[in-house]
Amino acid sequence: MKRMMVFDLDGTLAESKALLDSEMSSLLGRLMNVARVAVISGADWPQFEKQLMTQLPQNARLDNLSILPTCGTKFYKYAGDWQKQYSEDFTPEERVRIIEGMEKAITESGFKPEQTWGELIEDRGSQITFSALGQDAPVPVKKVWDPDFAKRQKIKAILDPILPDFTVRLGGATSIDITKPGIDKAYGIEKIVEILGVEKDEMLFVGDALFPGGNDYPVKECGVDSIMTRDPEETKRIIETFLAVTGESSD
């Protein structure tokens, strides 16, 4: 029996940058009554607050929830309020190298978009993220830009030799995430083990990028049982199955 469910956010619990819907909120509230829950995403803490935290049921067991922003490069747990456990931030020199390398790879790939919505490159402190259409692009436009990840695989292939000493992963609908070497979602999983005392064989991970190069793939590689989901609707069915196995009832 698993003691903990770990989730990606965008494309898994909610559409890209969208709020949790009421059904997902209710399911997560029920899940937090019977198991520990963690969410590891490329999003930074403010996005988690807007997209996830404000949508949870008022009586949610926040002490059973852990938040790992920017692909596990940060860790927050609840003890009366949200407390940061660590943050693996870049140095100023690393930031300059990464942004310059990313700009070069985007230009060489030929995939620079004609129309954008917001910033293309966002510095999240412990992660730098490229969003191909901008941070605020509409979800329908984002979903059709690179549904098979082929465009971003090409950008990543150019970027890897430019930044060989950093970790480059694909995630979300249009994003590429760059972190310090070895600091990825598997690192976040190891921190869950260290901080919460939950072993990897006691976890079940659900994400939409569980393929080589995807930012969920390191979780699978590090030995956590993982399920690849198509979208939040399928994730709901996975949670319902977990709840049924535990005997939890919505009554």
> How confident is the model over 107-132, as pLDDT tens digits?
999 998 889 999 999 999 999 999 99
Name the stretches of the chain with pLDDT < 70: 249-251
pLDDT recorded at residue 250: 61
Q: Which residues of 192-221 are buried (b: 16+ CB within 10 A; e: fewer)?
A: beeebebebebbbbbbbbbeebbbbbbbbe
pLDDT recorded at residue 188: 95
pLDDT recorded at residue 117: 96
Any idea what DSSP says for residue 90? P
> How confident is the model over 35-65, as pLDDT tens digits?
999 999 989 999 999 999 999 999 999 999 9
pLDDT recorded at residue 209: 93
pLDDT recorded at residue 195: 96
Q: What is the pairing mode between strands 225-228 and 203-207?
A: parallel
How far apart, in whole angstroms, are the C-alpha atoms of residue 2 and residue 133? 38
- CATH C-level class of 4-87+183-246: alpha beta
- Domain regions of the chain by residue span: 4-87+183-246, 92-179
Please tell me if the domain spanning 4-87+183-246 has the same topology as the one spanning 92-179. Answer: no
CB neighbour list of residue 87: distance below 8 Å, 6 or more residues apart: 73, 74, 125, 126
Q: What is the pairing mode between strands 167-171 and 128-131?
A: unpaired
| 92-179: CATH topology | 3.30.1240
E-assigned strands of 64-146? Answer: 65-68, 74-78, 82-87, 121-123, 128-131
Polymer length in residues for the chain:
251
Q: What is the pTM of this model?
A: 0.87
How far apart, in whole angstroms, are the C-alpha atoms of residue 156 and residue 134? 17
Q: Do residues 87 and 33 touch, judged by C-beta distance below 8 A?
A: no
